[in-house]
Structures are given as structure tokens and as C-alpha cells.
Amino acid sequence: MSLLDVEIVPVSNEPAYRSVVRRIETKIMSGEWAVGDRVPAETTLAQDLGVHRSTIREAIRVLEQNGLVRRHDGGKLLFVTAPREADISSKITAAIVLQEVTFFELWESMRCIEPALVEGAASRISEDTLDALQENVEKTRVAYADKKSLVQLDIEFHQLIATASGNRALQLCRQPISQLFYPAFLNVFSRLNAGERLVFAHEKILQALRSRDAAVAREWMDKHVVDFRRGYELASLDIDAPVGWPGKIDAA
């Protein structure tokens, strides 16, 4: 029996290369082709699947775009790979924007994710990360006048906690949402003096993390996310409007 001893039968008018993509994806997702395995040569795949090499090349192009196969260091050989976080995030971010997901929906999602991440971090966070959070809070305290720095420091604070949680599933869910959610802080900070409230919440969260108190850390993170919604509305921003592409900042 050949490596891929399955006849490719097009579905209605579906291009043949999509059938090839689906078959190879099944091999990878089932574990039959493990991460790190070399992908068979184009000629071998074409022979086994009964299609032209041009069809194989098009299928490989799609699989590369999806992050399931990759060439090492620009070489010709293809290997099975796990999609990188950036590959996943960019596609989901585009889907959120193009499907006109509202900022309220984004906020609801972050209210679920951020408290869960900080709860996990409370039992797993390292002393080095606690020190990094402390440094972040101190920098934030003196950055009230620099709104862009304030936003970057806030993004860093939450990213440190997400990483400290050790929960990769939640991190993968969070990444594309946070890319759209946190840049909106600049709109809020440009219209309100919210720096002191930001630092106060971060200090309370950090204190709970140092005490390894998961319940209190979760409670303060929830308050923090809820407080952001209040700030968003006080800044006269429409929380029910579709979210914009990252980098699009409303005029203050």
C-alpha cells in the first residue's frame, strides 16, 4: 500500500489541491505525520495521490500558509511543524475585524480570559516574573503623561501574567483578542486621566500574586477589566461599534 493510498475524489467543483490539503492535514492532525517529520517529495506525493505535481505544489503552498509545514532555513526540504502563535493570531485577528465583532464582544471575552489567567499565575508565577511586574508597575507610575508608554506598559503587564499562567490554550485564545483589545487603551487614556486607576489595580493584582492568593488576584483582575469598560464609556467611545484593525486610533 502506498503512503497515501486514498483516491482523491473532488467534492462538486472543489479544486483538486484542496482535497490534497485536506488529506495531508488529516495525516498531520492524527499524528501519523509527527511534528519534525520530513514531508515526502512532491513526485512521491503526486504519484501516491494520482495528481499532477502542480496540484501538490499548490496544496503545499496552502499548508505552508497555515503553518503546518515549513522549510528549514530557506532549504528545499519540507518538514511538519506546529503553527506558530503569530500565524494563528493574524488569521483570527483578521476574522474578528472582517466579521465586524463589536468591542463589547471583545471586552466580554477578555473578562473571561484575564481573570482565569491571573488565577493560574498565582500558583505558578516565578520570583523573576514578580520582579518584572514590580518594575513594570514602577515604570507605569511615572508614565502618566506619556499615553503611548502607558499603553505599552499595560500590554506588557498583562502579557507577563498570561505567560506566567502556564496555560497555553488560554494564551492562544487570548493573543488575537488582546491585539485588538489593548491598543484601544490609547483612545481611553487620550480622553481620560486613567493612569492612577490603572496603577492602583495593577498594584492590587501584583500584591495578590506575591501572596499566591488566587481568589483575590482573580477578583482584582475582574474589577480591572470591568473598570476599563466604564472608562471606555466615559470616554464617549461606542462599545457596540465593530472593532477596528490594530493601530487605528480615534482622534481625541
How do the pLDDT tens digits run along the chain, 252 residues long?
Answer: 455 555 555 545 788 999 999 999 999 999 999 999 999 999 999 999 999 999 999 999 999 988 999 998 778 899 999 988 777 888 889 899 999 999 999 999 999 999 999 999 999 999 999 999 999 999 999 988 888 888 899 999 999 999 999 999 999 999 989 888 877 777 787 777 788 889 999 999 999 999 999 999 999 999 999 999 998 888 888 999 998 876 544 433
CA distance 208 to 218: 9
**What pTM did the predictor assign?**
0.78
Q: Give the domains, in start order, of the chain with CATH numbers.
A: 16-80 (1.10.10.10), 86-235 (1.20.120.530)
pLDDT of residue 187: 78
b/e map of 142-168 (b: 16 or more CB within 10 Å)?
ebbeebeebbbbbbbbbbbbbbbbebe
Mean pLDDT across the chain, nearest whole number? 89
Element of type H or E holding 69: strand 69-71
30 secondary structure, DSSP code = T
CA distance 43 to 52: 9
Q: And the C-alpha cell for 242?
A: 465593530
Q: Phi and psi of 163, rounded to 5°?
A: -65, -40
